[in-house]
Structure 1
Amino acid sequence: MSAQPSFAETLRLRRRAASLTLEQLAAASGVSARTLSDMERGRSKGPQHRTVTALADALALDEPARRRFIDLAREGRLRDHWTRPTGLCQLPRSVDDFTGRAAELNWTSDFLNVDSSAGVAVVGLITGAAGSGKTTFAVRAAQTLRPNFPDGVFFLDLYGMSQHPLAVDDALGLLLRALGVADEQIPGDTTGRASLYRSLLRDRRVLVVLDNAASEEQVRPLLPGGAGRVVVTSRRLLAGLEGVRRLSLGPLPLPEATELLTGILSDRAAADGAPALSQLAQLCGGLPLALRIVGNRLVSRPGWNAADLAARLANEDRRLDQLRAGDLKIASAFGMSYEQLPAPARRIFRRLALVPGRDFDAALAGVLGGASIEDAWDALDELVDLGLLEDSTSSRYRFHDLVRLFARDRLQEEDTGTERDAVTERMTSWLLRMATTAGRRFESAVGRADRADEDLADLSSEDEAERWLRVNVDNWLGVLRHAASRGQHDVVLDCATSMRWFSARWMHGWPWQEIFGLGADAAAALGDPTHQAAQLTYLARVFHATPPVDPDVMMRYAAQVLDAATRSGATAQIAWGHTYVARALLRLGRLGEAAESVSRAAQIFKAIGDIDAYCQCLGTAGECLRGDGRYAEALERYLEMFDLAGDEGSGMTPTIAALTLPNALAAAGLCLGLLGRRAEAIVTFTEAISLFEQFPRSGSQARCLQALAAVLADEGRAGESREAYARAADVFEAIGDAEASVRCRDLAPAAH
């Protein structure tokens, strides 16, 4: 298909078709012959409208030809304006100390190379929270990409976070003027402006940067077709925009944040020292705006040093006040997003600052805001959309550290002290009721039925209860501390007591010493030696099971258990006191005394029908016998344990029985190995390891793997031994026993 003729060619053809000379056409139209000559030679590509209509009249063009003639002149005028620099919508200055964002800049390069042959402009959307450097990044990317856009790079601030974002009509008007369109040629309606804008950009390689967008409705009319590229920045996610390539800017990693701060400080950075700058970068949470403010403050005050400013920022109550320099203020940036929120979302946002842990879910947000779960979801979505919260695939949310401080400031300003206290107590009550209900899911079926709180969220299975306790541990432990400080001893004791069986599943990496310590203190405050003895029992169990084990500490706690139990006359707790005394004596190598104490405990437990505890005493008795070299007798105790745990009619709690089975087999395997029955030991260890795998990783599982590896090595099965040592090392590492992990890794190559 041949290219359409230009206005100059059309004028020449029409004049000749009418058999007119230049002078004759000049006389008929009133346009000078020289002007006509310039038009036909293409020197005047787009004459004014009145000149063109006069020529059309003189040439006696019919209506279709007349319209085409006038349109050609109009297009020529627009092309002529295009080549004239207007100075409008120019890119802002790019900062010289731009740092990091290498992966993100690679994204812009990939964005540049996207195929646009389908005639649809390629749009990149850059989102991020206030202060994350979206505009600075977009300007740097545009400056880098400028050589790829010979027809121009244009920048327009849409004022999306102001109370009055730039209207679409005004945005189109500014862009059209930047493209060289005169005011009188800009259509008066949105549709006409958008159509003209798209037609101008259809065949041109331009980059348009639309900064600080408010909404999809504001952006859509500004997206051209053709070969152009558009970069949009927004605090909002603009999820309704179709077919865009998305990039989310988060905080800078600490090394890049420190590098940016060093670049801002330039020559004085060395004097401030790398440790102080790193501390400042960390206190700024990696937010480029905060780093810019800190850097500017130091540069503008030569007498200050980074260490002093870091000391000021370390005070959370004053950190936001310190993060301002001139007209730059981090709280103002957050405030612009906050002002966009409806009242219910604002209330939830600021009250979430009361949450003691680092993350939370919609249920807790609803409790704080006095809202339904559905309304809480909506508010959280709005907060994420504006970058005031971060979310995750597990439906949990968290603050950036500086945003949390902003939320806390808003809470202090907008909620009265009475309101804050009431919300705190409501949160404390709800979290402790949830934690207590979840903990009781691991008791016997009768205990659960009698004591479960049915008003709370569904925690009807052990899996649900375990998940809730694990992901919310920082929150419920935080309010447990709060309740203890407020003298709410009943609820503290109730919650700590509910954790006794769950703690056996997750002994490693959990703050059980603090939890049961708070429980023991609460029982003592209530003057309840029976419950105090119980809490001290749980505490003694923690010290027994968590490395490094200090037998002297174990003995001290065991003595406290026995003393409190004796004062209360609680038979079961007296038995537990003897149990933990036995375990401490065992660790101290006093085997005879340990055997006597555990025998006493076993008799009491058997008499009161506590088969769970009796079974544990069998294990401790077996350890005493094994330590004394009486391996066959020890094996009998472990096999009795295994039989009791495997007998559904024994009266053992199912969860305790399930935990006992692998531990009994592991201990039996040790005895079989010591008796020289290595083949049987390997089978027994292997069965125990299989049973351990249904529970969280533990020291018992790791030690079983280590024992299996040693027996396999003795049997000459080197490959299997190395594999078992490696698995043991992994488990030890997972539970935080680095020394044992290294030891197993060192032993693995030696297996032969």
Structure 2
Amino acid sequence: MDSSLGALLRRLRHAARMTIEELSHASGVSVRAIGNLERGKSLGPQRTTVIALADALRLTGVHRDELLRAARAGRRRSPAPAPDLLAMPRGVADFTGRGREKDQLASLMDTAPGEPAPTVVISGQPGAGKTSLAVHAVSGLAHRFPDGHFFVDLRGLDTRPLDPGVVLERLIRTLVPAYGRLPLDLGDRAALYRSVAAAHRIAVVLDNAADEAQIRPLLPSTGGVLTVITSRRLLTGLEGVVRLPLSPLPDAEARDLLERLITGLPAAGRTTREVARLAHLCGNLPLALRIVGNRLAGRPDWSPDRLAARLEDEERRLDALTAGDLTITAAFELSYTQLSGAARRLFRRLSLMPGPDCGTQLASVLGGLPDAETDDALDELVELGLVQSGFTARYRLHDLIRDFARRRLEREETEAERAAVEARAVDWLLDTAIAAGRRFEPDYCEAFPEHRADHVRLDTSEAAQQWLMTEADSWLAALELATATGRWQRVVDMAEAMHWFSDRWIHWGYWPRVFTLSSTAAAELADHAAAATHLNYLSWAYEKCLDDIEGAIGCARRAHTEAVRAGDLRQQAWADSYLAVALLRADDAQGSLTLASRAVRGFHSVQDRVGLLSHALPALGKALERTGKPDEALRAYKYRLALASDSAVSTSPVIAGMARVSAARDIGLLHIAQGKWREAVDTLEPAVTWEPASNIPQWQAEMYAALGRVRRQLGQTEGALADVSRAIAVYQQIGDDNAMEAIQALRNGLEGGDAETAEARVTPVT
């Protein structure tokens, strides 16, 4: 028997001996909607619709549960494997008014080549419809942007607005998915975006901007790029922009919007005066009008006057921060009273989510509900417009609605209850992040119970990485909350779990913050060993993420001081090694050599093969090269290779394998620098096929490119062409266009018999 929702509804209707028209009359659901359900065109009706049908069919017991279960299955959302962070949110089909502003936006499309790219700032009070106008206008002009239109929530009202460097990374990688490593410097990254964007016709909505400093790096210079910015602030410091300040809708447009929202309801009581009265009580703000319109549409037995009377009852209103917020919070109150008990509780507690949005798993933790009931409650909230939902199973509260939810929470739940819910959410985020982060540790073992997480599957490193990246705003906010409440050991444990994962996501931008929090927490615990460890991590973050060499040097020196206090020889060696790397970046090669040598001795003394193989020995080799001691550098590299290849040495196979490939690469490149072509081939030829090399494409491509140059020097043109072609294929795979262009010049020269000229144009491998 067909158990689909459509077939089930048809069977139940036939059993009740009702026509579609009769069921429509009894339930209030339109004939067309019922027909679409039965034909399978609509698979996930809202819960209130299904309940109305069940009531009209007089279903009870098993039959009622069966219908509700079939509808729930159709509504269930499955998170996309890789959420599109720049997807345009769904617009509203009944958008009304703002004709002048839309015309002004459309007129900006006639920018001539070479002229400044058009930029628009839409400003206005909360609820004025800034985002709706931007999305509606840009979506309506989509045909003018063949390369796409994108949306970014800049989170300008959060305590931690979105970093412009992160926005630039998302935009660049959306336009050029295969692009290689991006510049760390914000100015360089902004220049790269301007260059990339100039070759495209796109529209970008930058929603909820914090200030001018956040926006300036995100503005293109010339080309067919429309940038639409929304903000509560006027952003008067921005020059050369078109300004569209939004006020509440004019009376006529407010009435029109409300009329469109309640189209199809009984005409009785819907006079122009009554609709105008209700619109006035909403302050003509689109957000308030939409919530009230949805409420009337859900209660066709109510007249606008009846609803207006409830709005005018001051005892039923929430106190507002300002008079301008009074009417919109009254509209929120009306929607809130229509929610089921479970949906009310979830709505209140969503105000406690640490980040800007959440998935169904965190919603379930906050609400204390099973997954199925969480889905139903979220459906209610989305239906009434109290929660915004995109296409990637993420849920967000508008700023004002979140404030309203928080006020309801304070009124209806005790301080102890609120604290318990927040602690549960923070603990879940931290526990899950720790479990996900530990998957990247070299000695990871699935048998460890502390690696398991509730509500989310972390079966693979790919799943763990996706969760960490998708929920980064939330777990970082949870880390901040743990810091604010003095949960120092939790902060240290969380950051420790991120240590190995941070190497995979260097360009996130917030690792300096993570390790600042953890090093501070360690200091609060008076744990000198932990303080040394996390100051060492912070030194890495300053050098790799911020390109702040002075900061890296300072952190490494502080780490060494803490390690001495703790009597921790291992962390002293790590501090020496991090300081050696930073000093080399600061052009202090002799100082780097001194510290790297001391780090090697220190790691030997505590038998720390990981630190020796992964950090100190390569730092020593580079310092020896820079101080004009290539023979000693070669001995350091060969010692590292031998140590990594010795199966008797107790260390992680992952670390040993990576060190083996890295050491062979360094040896081969040093031979090339000395003109020892045969030795370079003998070293690089086997190393390029070792398994770890294939797992790190950048290393593999560098070695193939180096082999190609060496074989050219040896007159082995055919072999050189083969190796160079392999290098190009790998560079294409990882999107390193600069390296690919350089090596392509060598291949062209080899094919044309002019390899010497081509070689002169190729940047040497370092």
TM-score range, shorter chain: 0.5 to 0.7
The answer as to whether partners of 1:442 and 1:655 remain within 8 angstroms in 2 is no
| Shift in CA distance, 576/407, structure 1 to aligned 2, threshold 3 Å | same
For 2:598 and 2:103, locate their aligned partners in 1 and report how far apart those are by CA, in whole Å: 75
Provide the residue aligned with 1:148 in structure 2: none
Query: Residues of 1 paired with 2:364 and 2:451: CA distance?
Result: 19
TM-score for both structures, normalised by structure 2: 0.54
1:5 counterpart residue number? none
- The equivalent residue for 1:168 is 24
Matches within 5 A, 1:448-527: 452=450, 456=454, 465-509=464-508, 511-527=510-526
What's the counterpart of residue 681 of structure 2? 679
Kindly report which structure 2 residues correspond to 1:25-174, keeping only aligned pairs within 5 A, or say none. Answer: 168-169=24-25
Quick check: 2:688–2:700 contact (8 Å CA) kept in 1? Answer: no
| CA separation of 1:216 and 1:483: change in aligned 2, threshold 3 A | closer
SS of the equivalent of 1:354 reads coil
Aligned equivalent of 1:721:
724
Structure 2 stretches of 5 or more lacking a match? 1-20, 36-44, 57-69, 76-85, 109-117, 138-206, 208-229, 231-243, 254-280, 296-331, 750-766
Pick aligned residue for 1:275 from 96, 99, 120: 120
**Highest relative contact order (Cα 8 Å, sep 6+), 1 or 2?**
2
Instruction: Quote the offset at 1:710 in angstroms.
Output: 5.8
Q: For the residues of structure 2 that align with 1:640 and 1:435, how far apart are their CA atoms?
A: 37
SS in 2 for 1:397: coil
Distance 1:614 1:295, change over 3 A: closer
Paired position in structure 2 for 1:583:
581
Name the structure 2 match of 1:399. 395
Contact 2:522 2:528 in 1 (8 A): yes
SS at match of 1:652: coil
Superposed counterparts of 1:525-540, under 5 Å: 525-540=524-539
Distance of aligned partners of 1:702 and 1:372 in 2 relative to their CA distance in 1, 3 Å threshold: farther
How many pairs align?
503
User: Which SS does the other structure have where 1:276 is aligned?
Assistant: strand
* Contact 2:518–2:534 (CA under 8 A) maintained in structure 1: yes
Aligned 8 A contact 1:213 1:219 in 2 = no
Cα pair 1:500 1:538 within 8 Å, conserved:
yes
SS at match of 1:275: strand
Query: Residue 482 of structure 2 contacts residue 491 of structure 2 at CA under 8 Å; is this kept in 1?
Result: yes
In the TM superposition, residue 300 of structure 1 has moved relative to its aligned partner by 5.6
Matched ranges for 1:193-208 at <5 A: none
Quick one: structure 1 residues 517 and 692, their matched pair in 2 at CA, closer, same or farther if it must change by over 3 Å? Answer: farther
Show structure 1 runs of 5+ residues with no match.
Answer: 1-164, 177-193, 198-210, 223-236, 243-249, 303-319, 734-740
Q: Confirm or deny: 8 A CA contact 1:489 1:525 kept in the other structure.
A: yes
Q: Mark the CA change 1:173 to 1:370 in structure 2 (over 3 Å): closer, same or farther.
A: closer
Distance 1:401 1:534, change over 3 A: same
1:556 partner amino acid: G
Contact 1:666–1:684 under 8 Å retained in 2: no
Match among 342, 345, 348 for residue 346 of structure 2? 348
Distance in 1, matches of 2:47 and 2:498, equals 50
The secondary structure found in structure 2 opposite 1:328 is: helix
Cα distance in 2 between the residues matched to 1:721 and 1:266: 53
| Counterpart amino acid of residue 533 in structure 1 | A
Which residue identity is paired with 2:571? Q
Change (3 A) 1:499 1:212: closer
Contact 2:622 2:633 in 1 (8 A): yes
Q: Secondary structure at the match of 2:648?
A: coil
Residue 308 of structure 2: aligned partner:
none
Greater shift in the superposed pair: 491-500 or 663-672: 663-672
Check whether the contact 1:682–1:708 (CA below 8 A) recurs between aligned residues: yes
CA contact (8 A) 1:331 1:406 kept: no
TM-score scaled by structure 1?
Answer: 0.54
SS of 1:687 mapped into structure 2: coil
Cα drift, residue 252 of structure 1? 6.7
Contact persistence 2:335–2:384 (CA under 8 A) = yes
Looking at structure 2, the residues matched to 526 and 339 of structure 1 have their Cα atoms a distance apart, in angstroms, of 47
Deviation at 1:401, TM superposition (A): 5.8
Counterparts of 1:173 and 1:353, CA distance in 2: 33
- CA shift at 1:441, angstroms? 4.3
- Please state how far the C-alpha of 1:580 moved relative to its aligned partner: 1.7
Counterpart position of 1:263: 99
Structure 1 letter corresponding to 2:695: Q
Residues of 2 paired with 1:629 and 1:467: CA distance? Answer: 45
* Pair 1:746–1:351, CA change in 2 (3 A): farther
Distance of 2:569 and 2:89 partners within structure 1:
57
Contact 1:725 1:747 in 2 (8 A): yes
Deviation at 1:704, TM superposition (A): 5.7
Matches within 5 A, 1:652-671: 652-671=651-670
The answer to whether 1:297 aligns with 2:297 is no
What are the superposed Cα offsets for residues 204-251 of structure 1, whole Å, 9 maximum, x if unpaired? xxxxxxx9996369799x9xxxxxxxxxxxxxx978999xxxxxxx99
Alignment partner, residue 328 of structure 1: 289
Pairwise CA distance, 1:636 = 4.1
Alpha carbons 2:528, 2:565 under 8 Å: kept: yes
- Residues 330, 638 of structure 1: CA spacing in aligned structure 2 closer, same or farther, 3 A cutoff? farther
Q: Could you say what the CA RMSD is over the residues aligned between the two structures, in angstroms?
A: 5.3
- Residue 481 of structure 2 aligns with an amino acid whose one-letter code is H
Using the alignment, how far apart are the partners of 2:552 and 2:658 within structure 1?
Answer: 23
Give the deviation of 1:169 after TM superposition: 2.8
Q: What CA distance in whole angstroms lies between the structure 1 residues aligned with 2:104 and 2:504?
A: 54
- Please tell me the residue identity of whatever aligns with 1:398: R
Q: Give the AA of the match of 2:539.
A: A
CA contact (8 A) 2:707 2:723 kept: no
* Contact 1:254–1:278 (CA under 8 A) maintained in structure 2: no
Distance, in Å, in 2 between the alignment partners of 1:591 and 1:682 is 27
Distance of 2:704 and 2:528 partners within structure 1: 41
Q: Secondary structure at the match of 1:452?
A: helix
Inter-partner Cα distance in structure 1 for 2:407 and 2:688: 59
Amino acid corresponding to residue 420 of structure 1 in structure 2 = R
Say whether 1:748 aligns with 2:733. no
Larger Rg: 1
Cα distance change on mapping 1:556 and 1:472 into 2, 3 Å: same
